[in-house]
């Protein structure tokens, strides 16, 4: 009786395995389809994140030094710009049509204002404005080496409505609105900077 039961169990187990194998082992085409779906979903998520929430950034060059350093990697906040608007001294990601690239700069002048620089002093509508974000030790060091002003003098620039004047923090070594002219609001992509790499240089710049 025991032998018959064992035999019966073997037959049932064999039958069960044969019938479940197609479910347990998906076909090659099914695996390919699952892979394609995963890649597609990932691409959509990345697109939505980088279009509506954050803008990845990689600092290229020294135009924002020492605020930001060459090769630093992080992201900037798209939502913050949309909700909070563009304000003076915000660090922003701007699209430069002349070069078809994105740069990190700081907002200096706002729509409708007249700005100028004389003897390293910023003037807005004729009134002196302090730029407290500067690393004064670095500014003094650069001035001693170039034997001149940190920010080259320039005459009045009057901004139209919807125009912003942007400059890099490392003034002698920055290509900005002094070269490209004012930027329109639609050229501003995001603001603030959250540096996450290198790990020993993690810091956030939120105005």
pTM score = 0.79
56-205: in CATH 3.80.10.10: no
- Tens digit of pLDDT for each residue in 149-190? 999 999 999 999 999 999 999 999 999 999 999 999 999 999
Which residue numbers are catalytic? 63, 105
Q: Both tokens of residue 96?
A: 């430069």
* CA–CA distance, 57 with 67 (Å, rounded to integer): 14
- pLDDT at 33 > cutoff 50: yes
- Tens digit of pLDDT for each residue in 36-86? 877 877 677 666 566 668 899 999 999 999 999 999 999 999 999 999 999
* CA–CA distance, 89 with 64 (Å, rounded to integer): 13
pLDDT at 21 (0 to 100): 47
């Amino acid at each position: 009786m025991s032998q018959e039961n064992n035999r019966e169990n073997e037959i049932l187990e064999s039958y069960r395995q044969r019938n479940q194998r197609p479910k347990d082992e998906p076909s090659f085409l099914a695996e390919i389809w699952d892979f394609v779906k995963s890649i597609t979903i990932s691409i959509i998520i990345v697109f939505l994140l980088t279009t509506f929430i954050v803008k990845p950034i990689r600092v290229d060059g020294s135009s924002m030094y020492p605020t930001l350093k060459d090769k630093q990697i992080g992201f900037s906040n798209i939502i913050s710009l949309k909700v909070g608007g563009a304000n003076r001294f915000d660090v922003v990601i701007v699209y430069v049509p002349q070069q078809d690239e994105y740069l990190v700069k700081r907002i200096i002048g706002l729509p409708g204002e007249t700005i100028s620089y004389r003897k390293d002093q910023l003037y807005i509508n004729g009134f002196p404005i302090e730029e407290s974000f500067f690393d004064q030790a670095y500014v003094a060091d650069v001035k001693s080496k170039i034997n001149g002003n940190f920010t080259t003098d320039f005459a009045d620039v009057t901004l139209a409505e919807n125009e912003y004047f942007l400059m890099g923090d490392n003034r002698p070594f920055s290509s900005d609105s002094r070269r490209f002219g004012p930027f329109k609001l639609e050229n501003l992509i995001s603001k603030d900077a959250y540096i996450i790499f290198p790990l020993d240089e993690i810091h956030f710049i939120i105005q």
